Every structure is written in structure tokens, then in C-alpha cells.
Amino acid sequence: MTDYFLILMGLVVLIIGVLIMSVSLGNRGYRKQPNYYTFFKIGTIGLPIGIIFYFTSKDLSLLAIGLVFFIAGLVNKNRWKNPGEEFQNSKKIIIGLVAATVLLILLSIIYAFMSI
């Protein structure tokens, strides 16, 4: 019990430290916009890897991170900096990727409930 408490307290201190540093360094006047297309690509790669990781070790962390990046990139599609040739005016590919991702998530949820 004490080991988990120490690990939790260490993580809390680390998160608070990162927040303090980001607030103090973030007020310098120059703010760069994130590349949401890169978020989309990271999510597209992270979701299947997260699903495989979930099936092998029952850990949802990588799946959740991939899902967050995927949604953040897709919601901000109008702000993509370098969409590339294959994604310009191509809603079918994006709809297919979203459908495949949703299908993989639903299959993993069904598998999780079937294995209980």
C-alpha cells in the first residue's frame, strides 16, 4: 500500500511541476499553433497499436492516448497545416478511417465483455 502511495504522490508532484513550468514558460509572447494533421496521424497509428496492446496486456493507456489524438486531429480538420495529396478533398478516406477505428473500438469492447 505504501509503495502505491509513494508512486501516486510522485506522479502528482511531477504533474504539478510540469504545469508550473508550462505556465511560466508559456507566457513569452510567442505561441505556435499545433499541427492537427500530425495529431490525426499519431491517433491513426496509436489506436490499432493500443487495441493490440489492450488484448495482450489488458492496459487501456495507449488506446486512450491514441483515441484522444485521433479525435483532436479529426475535430480540427480545418486547421491541418500539411494535409498531403491523399487527404485533400477526400472525405471517403477519412470516413473509412473513422469507421474502421469505431469498428475496432466496438470489437474490443465486445471482446472485453465476452472474456469477463
Domain ranges of the chain: 34-114
- At residue 28, what is the residue type? R
Q: Compute the distance between CA of residue 62 and CA of residue 47 in angstroms, rounded to an integer.
A: 7
Averaged confidence pLDDT in the chain: 77
Predicted structure pTM score: 0.51
Whether the per-residue pLDDT at 30 is higher than 70: the answer is no
Whether the per-residue pLDDT at 79 is higher than 60: the answer is yes
Whether the per-residue pLDDT at 87 is higher than 60: the answer is no
CB 33 within 8 A of CB 79: yes
| Average pLDDT of span 1-21 | 76
Cell numbers 495529431 label which residue? 39
Whether the per-residue pLDDT at 108 is higher than 60: the answer is yes
